[in-house]
Structure 1
Amino acid sequence: MPVRAPRICGCGLRVASGERCPCERRRKAEADARRPTARERGYDSKWDTERAAYLKTHPRCQRCPAPATVVDHVVPHKGDMKLFWSRSNWQPLCRICHDRWKQSQERRATP
């Protein structure tokens, strides 16, 4: 089976296919350390209650026929609590659609 060629990171290091450069791991760790916790971002017990109620009325994933397990914000709220609590901005997704499709879509949209 062919192996993909290594790539050159922005820092100049040669990185094997599928691996992360040490500088990328460091940047991610630093960003994670600065990020507020989920509870600090509004995902508290009130959210847990509203999420459960929403999933009860919207049991199927918006993208596939799987059971929905995640309430996703269509437009990322980025701390805007009015947008965070707007049910018209919510969509039911299964974990796979959320983690693959939605997250890759958001990564592409970020400059």
Structure 2
Amino acid sequence: MVHVPKRPCTTPGCREFSRPGSSKCEMHEAHRRQQVEARRAADPEKARYRRWYKLRIWYARRHDCLKAALFRCATPGCLERATDVDHIKPHRGNWDLFVDRNNLQALCKSCHSRKTAREDGGFGG
């Protein structure tokens, strides 16, 4: 039987050890699961299409978009490296808009967060 050494929980300030196969201790893993369930319960429609971001087609479109933009942020005047791919027009569960190459743009993390917050009505909206 192989012995897997325990590792510290990745939550800042936590002194507990993580469970095998996880990066968090039992308490923080349970807290993370509660947050996920609360998010799903708050907007079940959004939870349905959030799974699309794990599909192979999304990873391919995302890679193509970043590569086509030469990893440069599409925001005028921004000189940061593009790390996120944004839907120009929010898809809101519309599959055709989700996979449309012409509806994608490469943005840096801060520009993408700012645009998303503006569209959703503020951070955490």
Normalised TM-score (structure 1): 0.61
Instruction: Give 2:95's aligned residue.
Output: 81
Q: Distance in 2 between matches of 1:104 and 1:78?
A: 15
Structure 1 pair 42/29, CA: closer, same or farther in 2 (3 Å)?
Answer: closer
Give the gaps of 5 or more residues in structure 1. 1-27
Q: Distance in 1 between matches of 2:57 and 2:36?
A: 29
Q: Distance in 1 between matches of 2:36 and 2:68?
A: 37
Percent of matched pairs sharing the same residue: 35
Instruction: Give the partner amino acid of 2:93.
Output: G
Any conservation in 1 of the 2:86–2:105 contact (CA below 8 Å)?
yes
CA shift for structure 1 position 108: 2.8
1:36 pairs with 2:44: no
Instruction: Give the partner amino acid of 1:92.
Output: A
> Secondary structure at 1:78's aligned position in 2?
coil
| Cα displacement string for residues 50-78 of structure 1 (whole angstroms, at most 9, x for unaligned residues) | 21121011121111111111110011101
Higher helix share: 2
CA shift for structure 1 position 82: 0.7
Aligned residues: 81
Deviant stretches of 4+, over 6 Å: none
Q: Distance in 2 between matches of 1:85 and 1:36?
A: 16
Give the gaps of 5 or more residues in structure 2. 1-34, 42-46
